[in-house]
Amino acid sequence: MAYKDIFNMIPIRPPKRFQSSIDVKSDRLRKGGLLKDQFLFAPDICIPENEIVPSSSQSTNDTTNNSIALTKRILHDDYNESISTLRRSKRQTSKQLGITKYKSATSFDSFIERQCEDGLEARHTGTIKGRGVYTTKKFFRNDYIVEYAGELLIQSEAKQREILYGRNHDIGCYMYYFKWGEKLFCVDATEETNRLGRLINHSRKNSNCQPKVFVVRDQPRLILVALRDIEIDEELFYDYGERRKDIVESFPWLNE
Ligand SMILES: C[S@@+](CC[C@H](N)C(=O)[O-])C[C@H]1O[C@@H](n2cnc3c(N)ncnc32)[C@H](O)[C@@H]1O
């Protein structure tokens, strides 16, 4: 499956306030009284949607889970190899990666590492979109919202998986491609889990959050950050970034 062009990198400014004093406190304790030297960088990210299968049953059914299990078995050897490649190549400096470093006073890594999904719940939207994620607390602009959690893959493996997933129309599109340094990676969140980032729907015109790459222990993690203040009971949306004409014509909701 093809992917769209990656946009320029857009740095995000660290939030001016701490999102939660509890998180900051635990982070300080963990790191011996110091906030870790960390940085944010934010290449724009895209999800290839050219094989989106609009499905009402994206899904907990056995067929889907079996397909995923089968795919993983088939790809098992490649998977081990690709992840070890990833690990081998991870020790690049930010200069090599061409990434601007931003020291942040606020630590997002504690949110990521403890899989924080506070203030969110999944509900059925009652529309063709299927499930969506809604807020149960207020978020402020630049707040951490949730991780787009899944398996980190290199591009070649992700493409192989997509071919297999594409054979099963019960499998929805949960592959999230992004550029990190000079390389393309993908977070595959196809497997049904209880993580919420994978359930956030698309809006081009009314997105209220935005994907960013955040590095934890030298590994890129995808997170969603609030674009503006978000009130309780709002559905979360981000722009999937797909602009290819043929794809958008096939899935007109990408323009909404
Ligand atoms: C990452 S999943 C989002 C969660 C999905 N709604 C679910 O129930 O599992 C992406 C899929 O959700 C659906 N979707 C997301 N945003 C949509 C929108 N604005 N309109 C229609 N369908 C949408 C499409 O089927 C898309 O392939």
Cα dihedral: 117, 121, 125, 130 (round 10)? 50
Q: Return phi, psi of residue 100, to 5°.
A: -80, 135
Cβ–Cβ < 8 Å for 157, 78:
yes
Taking the CA of residue 54 as reference, the ligand 1 atom at the shortest distance is: 25
Domains delineated in the chain: 21-251 (2.170.270.10)
Residue 74 backbone zone (phi > 0: left; psi -120 to 50: alpha; other: beta): alpha
Q: What is the pLDDT of residues 159-203, one digit of tens each?
A: 999 999 988 888 888 999 998 888 999 999 999 999 999 999 999
CA 129 to ligand 1 center in whole angstroms: 5
Does any ligand 1 atom lie closer than 6 A to the CB of residue 133?
no
Cα-to-centroid distance, 226 and ligand 1 (Å): 19
Strand 183-188 and strand 151-154: pairing? Answer: antiparallel
Residue type, 211: P
Output the tens digit of pLDDT for each of the chain's 256 residues: 333 333 322 333 333 344 543 333 333 333 322 222 223 333 333 333 332 223 333 343 444 454 445 445 434 434 444 433 333 333 333 343 333 333 343 578 899 999 999 999 999 999 999 999 999 999 999 999 999 999 999 999 999 999 999 888 888 889 999 988 889 999 999 999 999 999 999 999 999 999 999 999 889 999 999 999 999 999 999 999 889 899 899 999 999 9
Q: Would you say the CB of residue 204 lies under 6 angstroms from ligand 1?
A: no
Residue 129's beta-bridge partner residues? Answer: none
Q: Choose the residue to mutate in 53, 194, 202, 236 for probing ligand 1, maximizing ligand atoms within 8 Å of C-beta.
A: 202
Binding site membership of 54 for ligand 1 (Cβ less than 6 Å): yes
Complex ipTM value: 0.99
Which ranges in the chain belong to alpha helices (H)? 21-30, 62-74, 76-88, 94-97, 109-113, 155-166, 245-250
130 ligand 1 Cβ < 6 A: yes
The tokens for 59 are 């899904």
Rounded distance from Cα 253 to ligand 1 centre (Å): 9
DSSP 225-255: EESS-B-TTPBPEE------HHHHHH-GGGG
